[in-house]
Amino acid sequence: MPITCPACNKAGQTDAACQRCGCELTHLHEIVAAAATRLARAHAALTNRDWSGALADAEGSWDLLHTAESARLAWVAAAAVGDTPGALRWRAHAAAIAQPHP
């Protein structure tokens, strides 16, 4: 998954080093990949009606990388386990990412 270089903001970086500034990006790519893995596990848990497992993995993915998808998945999973305050918090996270402030 492409990332934006944190040093110079060059988007679309897929290599170990930034094409513009040479910043080492290997660890950031590993974090993004780990977040994607947790998100895939959350999807699988949701499919299997393992609501608490889905919530834990969605939260784990969010901890690594804040994405609208991880927030929405945590929102659904929190609602499914009956955690209304948690569901509302995740809904707010999802809305904030979907409509970021300039």
Contact residues toward Zn ion (CB under 5 A) are 5, 7-8, 10, 18, 20-21, 23
Give min distance, CB of 7 to Zn ion, in A: 5
Closer CB to Zn ion, residue 18 or residue 77? Answer: 18
Angle between helices 51-64 and 68-80 (to 10 degrees): 150
Give min distance, CB of 102 to Zn ion, in A: 23
Closer CB to Zn ion, residue 5 or residue 78? Answer: 5
6: Cβ contacts below 8 Å, ≥ 6 apart: 23, 28
For residue 13 the two structure tokens come to 């970086």
**Residue 18 in contact with residue 7, Cβ under 8 Å?**
yes
Give min distance, CB of 19 to Zn ion, in A: 7
